[in-house]
A and B are shown apart, each in its own frame.
Chain A
Amino acid sequence: MSYVKALRCKECEALYPIEPRTVCDHDFGPVEVAFDYEKARGRVTRASIEGGPRSLWRYKDLLPIEGQPRAGLRSGFTPLIRADKLAAELGVKELYIKDDSTNYPTFSYKDRVVAVALTKAIEFGFDTVGCASTGNLAHSVAAHAAAAGLRAFVMIPHDLEEGKMVGMSVFGPRVVKIRGNYDDVNRLCSQIADKYNWAIVNVNLRPFYTEGAKTHGFEIAEQMGWKLPRHTVVPVAGGTILPKVWKAYQEFITLGLVEDNKPAMYAAQAAGCNPVVQAIEQGLDLFKPQKPQTIAKSIAIGNPADGYYVIKVVRESGGHGASSSDAEIIDAIKLLARTEGIFTEPAGGTTLACAIKLIQSGRIPRDESICVCITGNGLKTVEVMAGQFTATPVINAKMTEFEQLVNEINETAKTSTQSVNS
């Protein structure tokens, strides 16, 4: 059953029918899907959700589609990890990792938003879909379009990592490299959406696309046992996911599915691209755009159109922001891998590095529940880890050589333990 009411301008609250649309005609404010929570209350329940499929579509009643899901049928419902080893390392009591690096089928949180956007594209009757992307979105659009039998055009900055290029090209979309950064790509895509009758998922299907991001938050709440983490740290690029995780929490509170524990939201950005965090730290409502300079390319958006809403939600929820250097990002990637066995991309390293800073500065108390949102997979960006590891030994296939190697490794471990203890 659909509880969708209309599209509503986030600024002036003007209402529009459900149609492909990005912004309000009156003030250019973004439009958002409005739901009838009165009608949903008592009908969307813990039991109704738990009875759904093990995918993001278990939250279908709170997503803006009319019929059955048509794309991404297995996307979402990624693990929520209770990260006790990492928690011990950081000196905190209750730490969770929401791990979208395992999302299906393209290993990032984007599989959520694309599942919803492509279902909507099919409902609207589009035959061509596209996106402006820093990589992960292109992967997801290309894969879901291939599976759904839609034509795909993906527009990307010219300097993406090689692994990211392979990860999208394999699905057979038209890939267009654009000289410039993501913000240049995005601007061109808004003009493309103006001219061609295509579903550019993050432009003219944006209101539907963004609702898909709520499922990251719904899952956190359900997987914590129908509770909200007191503190949630989320990466900020275009500014989609943080306000939508917040919206998910608020919807569950409104529907009586979780208790309102006043969840606080925290924005994580790379120091080389931190317009939103700067505005939060300086107490400003509006951010100043930046030219990105960071290894965290998947979140290198210097002109995030929803940045304003990130600032607003962070402030209203009592959260804060932090940014981390490239070196801190790499260290955090290694820390997460070493303690929890999760290999994330630089965006995830950024989020964890920022969470650590917020804990160390006392912004996030050590004795309250914390969730760190990991949104992408490290195997897509192996280049950034080049030179991070000691040389791998090569031996002949002889037991004597292997035994010698093990002895050397044990000796080294003993020496380093001694030096730690001394």
Chain B
Amino acid sequence: MPTTANTVTIRIPTALRPQAGGNDVVSFSGASIREVLGGLTTQYPELGKRLFKTQDELNRFINVYVNDEDIRFLDNLDTAVKPGDEVSIVPAIAGG
């Protein structure tokens, strides 16, 4: 799907690319993370199953960022997004 000015881009991690048509970046429109990820999971239902534990709860090993900020510091799934924003889906990893 081509990136256009009124959409939000989503970075897909390697592990989820097979369920996202092999794409590393996709674009969807929407006013919130919920809406944007809703578009993503409607188009790629298998990806949706891995992304979400329930309809309202992300898989706890998945972190979602809007322009480098973790959505848990914002309004979680209700975090507002605007065209041109970049959303990253990143599997949680630890270190130290």
Contact present for B95 and A303 (CB under 8 Å):
no
Determine whether B56 belongs to the interface, using a CB cutoff of 8 Å to chain A: no
Give residues of chain B (50-96) contacting chain A, Cβ–Cβ below 8 Å: 50, 59-63, 65, 68, 70, 72-73, 88, 90-96
With both chains docked as a complex, state the minimum distance between the C-beta of B13 and any C-beta of chain A, in angstroms. Answer: 6
Which of B11, B50, B88, B91 lies at the interface centre, i.e. has the most chain A CB atoms within 10 A of its CB? B91
Residues of B with C-beta under 8 A to A288: 72
**Residue from A22, A180, A184, A289 in contact with B73 in the complex, judged by beta carbons closer than 8 Å:** A289
Report the separation of the CA atoms of residues A240 and B92 in the bound assembly, to the nearest whole angstrom.
13
Residues of B with C-beta under 8 A to A29: 61
Determine whether B1 belongs to the interface, using a CB cutoff of 8 Å to chain A: no
With both chains docked as a complex, state the minimum distance between the C-beta of A4 and any C-beta of chain B, in angstroms. Answer: 21
Contact present for A202 and B95 (CB under 8 Å):
yes
Residues of A with C-beta under 8 A to B68: 180, 184
| Interface of A: prevailing SS | loop
**Residue from B70, B72, B88, B93 in contact with A305 in the complex, judged by beta carbons closer than 8 Å:** B93
Task: Give A306-322 as 1s and 0s: 1 = Cβ < 8 Å from B's Cβ atoms.
Answer: 11100000000000000
Residues of B with C-beta under 8 A to A308: 60
Determine whether A64 belongs to the interface, using a CB cutoff of 8 Å to chain B: no
Contact present for B96 and A28 (CB under 8 Å):
no
Contact present for A28 and B94 (CB under 8 Å):
no
With both chains docked as a complex, state the minimum distance between the C-beta of B52 and any C-beta of chain A, in angstroms. Answer: 11
Contact present for B59 and A27 (CB under 8 Å):
yes
Report the separation of the CA atoms of residues A23 and B63 in the bound assembly, to the nearest whole angstrom.
13
Determine whether B6 belongs to the interface, using a CB cutoff of 8 Å to chain A: no
| Interface of B: prevailing SS | mixed
Determine whether A189 belongs to the interface, using a CB cutoff of 8 Å to chain B: yes
Residue of B nearest to A310 (CB): B94
Determine whether B14 belongs to the interface, using a CB cutoff of 8 Å to chain A: yes
Which of B61, B65, B95 lies at the interface centre, i.e. has the most chain A CB atoms within 10 A of its CB? B95
Contact present for B70 and A190 (CB under 8 Å):
no
Residues of A with C-beta under 8 A to B13: 190-191, 194
Determine whether A187 belongs to the interface, using a CB cutoff of 8 Å to chain B: yes
Determine whether B5 belongs to the interface, using a CB cutoff of 8 Å to chain A: no
Task: Give A167-200 as 1s and 0s: 1 = Cβ < 8 Å from B's Cβ atoms.
Answer: 0000000000000101110110111001000000
Select the stretch in A128-136, A377-385, A391-399 that faces chain B.
Answer: A128-136
Residues of B with C-beta under 8 A to A189: 93, 95
Contact present for A30 and B61 (CB under 8 Å):
yes
* Contacts across chains A and B counted by CB atoms under 8 Å: 91
Contact present for B96 and A137 (CB under 8 Å):
yes
Contact present for B94 and A23 (CB under 8 Å):
no
Determine whether A237 belongs to the interface, using a CB cutoff of 8 Å to chain B: yes
With both chains docked as a complex, state the minimum distance between the C-beta of B91 and any C-beta of chain A, in angstroms. Answer: 5
Given A23-B15, A26-B50, A289-B72, CB of A186 within 8 Å of CB of B95:
yes
Report the separation of the CA atoms of residues A23 and B88 in the bound assembly, to the nearest whole angstrom.
17
Determine whether A332 belongs to the interface, using a CB cutoff of 8 Å to chain B: no
Residue of B nearest to A347 (CB): B96
**Residue from A22, A110, A298 in contact with B93 in the complex, judged by beta carbons closer than 8 Å:** A22
Report the separation of the CA atoms of residues A93 and B12 in the bound assembly, to the nearest whole angstrom.
54
Residues of A with C-beta under 8 A to B90: 187, 190-191
Determine whether A354 belongs to the interface, using a CB cutoff of 8 Å to chain B: no
Residues of B with C-beta under 8 A to A299: 96
Given A25-B15, A28-B50, CB of A240 within 8 Å of CB of B91:
no
**Residue from A23, A25, A27, A240 in contact with B96 in the complex, judged by beta carbons closer than 8 Å:** A240
Determine whether A76 belongs to the interface, using a CB cutoff of 8 Å to chain B: no
Which of B62, B70, B93 lies at the interface centre, i.e. has the most chain A CB atoms within 10 A of its CB? B93
With both chains docked as a complex, state the minimum distance between the C-beta of A141 and any C-beta of chain B, in angstroms. Answer: 11
Task: Give A1-42 as 1s and 0s: 1 = Cβ < 8 Å from B's Cβ atoms.
Answer: 000000000010000000000110111111000000000000
Known: A184-B68, A190-B90. 6 other contacts (CB 8 A): A23-B93, A189-B95, A190-B93, A239-B94, A286-B60, A289-B73
* 19 pairs of residues in contact across A and B, judged by CB atoms under 8 Å: A23-B91, A26-B50, A28-B61, A134-B96, A137-B96, A186-B93, A187-B65, A187-B88, A187-B90, A190-B90, A194-B13, A202-B93, A202-B95, A203-B95, A237-B96, A240-B96, A286-B60, A301-B95, A305-B92
Which 4 A-B residue pairings sit nearest by Cβ, starting from the closest? A238-B94, A202-B95, A28-B61, A305-B94
Using CB atoms and an 8 Å cutoff, list the residues of chain B in contact with chain A: 11, 13-15, 50, 59-63, 65, 68, 70, 72-73, 88, 90-96
